[in-house]
Chains A and B, each alone.
Chain A
Amino acid sequence: MNTDKPSRLVALALVPFALFALALMVYLTAELPVRIHLPWIPSLGIEASLHIDGWALQFILLITGIGGFVLVYAAGYLAGDPKRKRVFVLLLAFMAAMLGSVSADNLIVLFVFWELTGLTSFLLVGTKHEDATARASARQALVVTGGGGLVMLAGLILLGQVAGTYSISELIASGPNWINHELVPLALVCIFIGAFSKSAQFPFHFWLPNAMSAPTPVSAYLHSATMVKLGIYLLGRLHPAFDELLLWQVSLITVGVVTSVLAMLLTLSERDLKRILAWSTVAALGTLVMLIGQPGDGAVMATSAFLLAHALYKAPLFFVAGNVDYAAGTRNIDHLSRLVRVMPLSAVAALLAAISMAGMPLSFGFVAKDLIEIAKHDGQIFAWASYASMFVSAMSVAVAAVAAIRVFWQHNGNASTEGVHEGSPLLWLPPLMVAGLGIVLGLVPHLIGPLIGAAAESMRPALQYEELRILLNGHVLVSLVTASVIGLAFFIAWDQLHKLLERGRELERFSPSAWYDLLMRAIPAAANWLTPRLQHGSLVGYAAMLLGAVVVAVVPALVIWNRQWPAFDPPSLAVVGVSLLLVVAAIAACRVRDSFVLLLTSGLVGFGSALLFLFLGAPDLALTQFAVEVAFVVVIAAILLRVRRLDLEPAPVHNTKARTVVAVAVGTVIAALVLAATAGLFDPVLTQYFAERAVPDAHGRNVVNVVLVDFRAVDTLGEIAVVGASFIATIPLLLLVRARLAKSRRKNP
């Protein structure tokens, strides 16, 4: 597949490792939370401030620490791959977006970075963009998480409006003031949808296993250790404000439990090692969501510990799955057998990670499991949730056994290990080190305890962390033994259970994944139906549609709501004269059939309007109107002359009567609308403001110009950018037409 020469890109791993060291230094020296003030859009109350507390710091350490190992691994995995630079750039961009998301103190800033992670994930999943499956998976990941993100934006704005601030720290501090507002549940549901879609919770779980089309380093990093945990991050971040809310507890526990059980069931339906790991990741995310939903001190400790434990065992397992794929050319567990003989180092890494995943004593996975048991004991958990979590623990044991024992130790008849060998150190060192860390931290949990405590304290300010207590009571041991026994049973019966689940394939028609496919087919179908009806290409039709819409929309509004008309104010003789000119020209424009005469009469209407502006005291407008009209008439005349010479003259207008009716109707309605509008109360605040401030603030007496170039200069900049862009876009078209004409003239002189 690839050459074995590792890429020089490995040096880039120094970036995250340096950031990791920096974050660790900040943690050891500074008082948490660290706050950095950066105003961004002060007029909208949006600040790009950073707020780094224990919870954010835990994520920063995960993002940079795991990120460093991922980059090292990617340098080995992608050695010789022509796309390696693209992947590295995107991985670093993703890392920056993740760091931004977790350290932002502002809801909107958090959202922007959140969507940036989704965008980089889309590009990374679609790395093999020549492959239709990879494209579909990338699109699915983007549609599900991006769509969820948009719903979340609505929720965040709602929350910001209700609470009166977009700063997360202020929002949490003022929580009791707004928590009972009637819109809070709606905002919360919107935020849930965003967090659940990002963290692959039911019913948005299906995108994550499909995202496994990404290269393995990407799967290990984005779709296991970091990005999919952003939803967890947000829920943890908002936890202090909402943890007493029943809606919060019930939603999170229900969705988390349903997701983890469903994901573990679906694990059995897979044969691809990466997809098996992906489903178990979904299950772990479900467990995290459930833990956040639980009230009590124990739950937040368990959340933080399990988050770390999961990253420390799942990333190495993905690395190892990538090594197996890299060396053996397949990830199908049916074709893998006794790889320990040829890949001993990967096998050791897999075993260490599996021990932690199964929650065996002396691993960090055990510490997390222990804390989860304590949390379950503390909180009043639903009985069914307790059984469900037992099932999930047992399945974790089974999945760990499949990923390590089955692939590396078990003999499988129809697979050979010929030609398979261990890759470069860049491939086996990262999983070995990360998995090893998962064991070391299990031996000396008090080293990492304060960090977990800091994260838990920021999720639950009432908590006072003292030390990481590990209980080895009978309850924990019983649950451990039960999970191991059931898990081993699942492991032994894996293939039978797989066959059993295969019979349930029919049910897939009702799965959310099928709904998604249906939606993806319905959108182009609906567009196919709608587009020819709206975009038929007839200019006359477009005009009739637009003008008709104006009449239909304005008439009822006028009839229902308008109560007064302005008093009659006798106009000056000049205005009367110009108005007469306008009316005559307009009637003529309706009646003439020749297009050139039509241009002249409509030009007359334009010039007449300019005169009217002049008499009504708007010389700026009049000047502009004159200049625009001149350019318009010249250009259209040039086109008409050209058309005429080519004998392409459009058929003379025949239904002038119908057009007159439409024109008169629209004219009347607009006139009535303007009259009604001027009869209403006029709010002079802006006019007065600009008139008063123009000279002192902007040194100009021409208020129109002052507004254009000073008060609203950024708007004007946008407008001239549009003018310039439309010019640049039109030039190639016109040049093309010109070149064709020149060619045809040379042919027929």
Chain B
Amino acid sequence: MTQRAVILDVAVRILYPLMLAAAFWLLLRGHNEPGGGFIGGMVAVAATAMLAVARGADFAQSRMPLGPLRLAYASLLLSFASGLPALGHNLPYMTHLWGSIPLGFTEFKVSTVMLFDLGVFGTVWAALGGLCAQVVAIDEEAEP
């Protein structure tokens, strides 16, 4: 391993999961409060970029579920597919469907919007995060 900033290395162990949690929280609340898939994705990208600088690009990429390329494909596919159920109800493509799961004291709303936004989140994270990691990797190769 090449030399790395010790403080960053330690800090990132805590910061990375925190930032991912924040990103996910932004994604989930996005429909009603500021946030959403794109912003959440960008925060996750920042987390990956930081991890790549602190602990190496390959490590950062291995922390992404499925790895960047497959995550990008899968997320795009998810977004695309989230518009398909509407066709089954004779509605135009991308008409989102809503349903709710009663939990007794309250109800939990579910919708194809969530799937779509999750796809946006994953695509942004995978594509831009993967790109950041690859650029950092080039920097690593050059180190003496």
Please indicate whether A and B come from the same complex rather than being unrelated chains: yes
Residue A730 at the B interface, CB < 8 A?
yes
Q: How far is the CB of B100 from chain A (nearest CB, A)?
A: 10
- Whether the Cβ atoms of B83 and A717 lie closer than 8 Å is yes
Q: How far is the CB of B133 from chain A (nearest CB, A)?
A: 9
Q: How far is the CB of B9 from chain A (nearest CB, A)?
A: 16
Chain B, Cβ-Cβ closest to A700: B31
Residue B116 at the A interface, CB < 8 A?
yes
- Whether the Cβ atoms of B46 and A627 lie closer than 8 Å is yes
User: Which listed residue (B34, B45, B76, B141) contacts A623, Cβ 8 A?
Assistant: B34
Residue B85 at the A interface, CB < 8 A?
no
Q: How far is the CB of B121 from chain A (nearest CB, A)?
A: 10
CB contacts (< 8 Å) of A685 on chain B: these are none
- Whether the Cβ atoms of B134 and A738 lie closer than 8 Å is yes
CB contacts (< 8 Å) of B37 on chain A: these are 708-709
A737 to B141, CA, bound (A): 10
- Whether the Cβ atoms of A720 and B53 lie closer than 8 Å is no
Q: How far is the CB of A617 from chain B (nearest CB, A)?
A: 10
Residue A19 at the B interface, CB < 8 A?
no
Q: How far is the CB of B144 from chain A (nearest CB, A)?
A: 8
- Whether the Cβ atoms of A624 and B32 lie closer than 8 Å is no
- Whether the Cβ atoms of B132 and A634 lie closer than 8 Å is yes
The interface residues of chain A, by DSSP majority, are classed as helix
CB contacts (< 8 Å) of A741 on chain B: these are 138, 141-142
A254 to B143, CA, bound (A): 77
- Whether the Cβ atoms of B134 and A713 lie closer than 8 Å is no
Q: Please provide the 5 A-B residue pairs with the shortest distance between their CB atoms, ordered closest to farther.
A: A627-B42, A727-B127, A741-B141, A700-B31, A619-B34
- Whether the Cβ atoms of B131 and A701 lie closer than 8 Å is no
Instruction: Other than A634-B53, A731-B69, give 13 A-B pairs with Cβ distance below 8 A.
Output: A624-B39, A624-B42, A635-B49, A638-B135, A699-B109, A701-B31, A701-B33, A702-B36, A705-B30, A705-B36, A717-B79, A724-B73, A724-B76
Binding site for B on A (CB under 8 A): 619-620, 623-624, 627-628, 630-631, 634-635, 638-639, 641-642, 645-646, 698-702, 704-706, 708-710, 713-714, 716-717, 720-721, 723-724, 726-728, 730-731, 734-735, 737-738, 741-742, 745
Q: How far is the CB of B131 from chain A (nearest CB, A)?
A: 6
User: Which listed residue (B49, B69, B124, B136) contacts A728, Cβ 8 A?
Assistant: B69
Q: List 29 A-B contacts (CB under 8 A).
A: A620-B36, A623-B35, A627-B39, A630-B49, A631-B42, A631-B49, A634-B49, A635-B136, A642-B142, A645-B143, A698-B96, A698-B113, A701-B31, A701-B32, A702-B31, A704-B34, A705-B31, A705-B36, A710-B96, A713-B83, A713-B94, A716-B120, A723-B128, A724-B123, A727-B131, A728-B69, A731-B69, A734-B134, A735-B134
Which residues of chain B (94-112) have a CB below 8 Å from chain A?
94, 96, 98, 109, 111
CB contacts (< 8 Å) of A702 on chain B: these are 30-36
CB contacts (< 8 Å) of A738 on chain B: these are 134, 137-138, 141
Q: Interface code B62-86, partner A: CB below 8 Å = 1, 0 otherwise?
A: 0000001100110110011001000
Chain B, Cβ-Cβ closest to A730: B131
- Whether the Cβ atoms of B116 and A713 lie closer than 8 Å is yes
- Whether the Cβ atoms of B83 and A745 lie closer than 8 Å is no
Residue B50 at the A interface, CB < 8 A?
yes
User: Which listed residue (B32, B33, B113) contacts A709, Cβ 8 A?
Assistant: B113
Known: A638-B138, A709-B37. A720 touches B124 (CB 8 A): yes
CB contacts (< 8 Å) of B139 on chain A: these are 638-639, 641-642
Chain A, Cβ-Cβ closest to B134: A734
**Chain B contact patch, size range:** 35 or more
Known: A702-B31, A730-B131, A731-B69. A720 touches B36 (CB 8 A): no
- Whether the Cβ atoms of A727 and B142 lie closer than 8 Å is no
A705 to B116, CA, bound (A): 11
CB contacts (< 8 Å) of A735 on chain B: these are 134
- Whether the Cβ atoms of A727 and B72 lie closer than 8 Å is yes
A705 to B113, CA, bound (A): 10
A741 to B139, CA, bound (A): 10
User: Which listed residue (A619, A700, A710, A728) contacts B32, Cβ 8 A?
Assistant: A700
Chain B, Cβ-Cβ closest to A619: B34
A627 to B142, CA, bound (A): 27
Chain B, Cβ-Cβ closest to A720: B123
User: Which listed residue (B36, B72, B93, B137) contacts A724, Cβ 8 A?
Assistant: B72
Residue B12 at the A interface, CB < 8 A?
no
- Whether the Cβ atoms of B138 and A634 lie closer than 8 Å is no
- Whether the Cβ atoms of B141 and A635 lie closer than 8 Å is no
CB contacts (< 8 Å) of B79 on chain A: these are 716-717, 720
- Whether the Cβ atoms of B116 and A631 lie closer than 8 Å is no
The interface residues of chain B, by DSSP majority, are classed as helix
A624 to B38, CA, bound (A): 8
Known: A627-B46, A702-B33. A620 touches B39 (CB 8 A): yes
- Whether the Cβ atoms of A721 and B42 lie closer than 8 Å is no
- Whether the Cβ atoms of B123 and A723 lie closer than 8 Å is yes
Interface-central residue, A623, A709, A728, by most chain B CB under 10 Å: A709
Q: How far is the CB of A439 from chain B (nearest CB, A)?
A: 53
A641 to B140, CA, bound (A): 10
A745 to B72, CA, bound (A): 31
Chain B, Cβ-Cβ closest to A623: B39
- Whether the Cβ atoms of A734 and B138 lie closer than 8 Å is yes
- Whether the Cβ atoms of A630 and B36 lie closer than 8 Å is no
- Whether the Cβ atoms of A699 and B31 lie closer than 8 Å is yes
- Whether the Cβ atoms of B128 and A631 lie closer than 8 Å is yes
- Whether the Cβ atoms of A628 and B83 lie closer than 8 Å is no
A634 to B43, CA, bound (A): 13
Known: A714-B83, A723-B123. A709 touches B132 (CB 8 A): no
CB contacts (< 8 Å) of B111 on chain A: these are 699
A100 to B33, CA, bound (A): 49
Chain A, Cβ-Cβ closest to B48: A631
Chain B, Cβ-Cβ closest to A634: B49
A702 to B96, CA, bound (A): 16
A96 to B93, CA, bound (A): 26
CB contacts (< 8 Å) of B113 on chain A: these are 698-700, 709-710
CB contacts (< 8 Å) of A721 on chain B: these are 76
CB contacts (< 8 Å) of B76 on chain A: these are 720-721, 724
Chain A, Cβ-Cβ closest to B41: A627
Q: How far is the CB of A599 from chain B (nearest CB, A)?
A: 14
- Whether the Cβ atoms of B46 and A631 lie closer than 8 Å is yes
Interface-central residue, A638, A702, A714, A745, by most chain B CB under 10 Å: A638
Known: A631-B42, A742-B141. A638 touches B136 (CB 8 A): yes
A699 to B68, CA, bound (A): 32
Interface-central residue, A627, A714, A735, by most chain B CB under 10 Å: A627
Q: How far is the CB of A732 from chain B (nearest CB, A)?
A: 10
Q: How far is the CB of B93 from chain A (nearest CB, A)?
A: 7
Q: How far is the CB of B96 from chain A (nearest CB, A)?
A: 6
CB contacts (< 8 Å) of A631 on chain B: these are 42, 45-46, 49, 128, 132
Q: How far is the CB of A281 from chain B (nearest CB, A)?
A: 44
A716 to B37, CA, bound (A): 11
A723 to B131, CA, bound (A): 11
CB contacts (< 8 Å) of B119 on chain A: these are 720
A627 to B36, CA, bound (A): 13
Q: How far is the CB of A425 from chain B (nearest CB, A)?
A: 49
A641 to B130, CA, bound (A): 19
CB contacts (< 8 Å) of A641 on chain B: these are 139
A596 to B69, CA, bound (A): 31
Q: How far is the CB of B71 from chain A (nearest CB, A)?
A: 10
Q: How far is the CB of B94 from chain A (nearest CB, A)?
A: 5
A175 to B32, CA, bound (A): 52
CB contacts (< 8 Å) of B120 on chain A: these are 708-709, 716, 720
Q: How far is the CB of B38 from chain A (nearest CB, A)?
A: 7
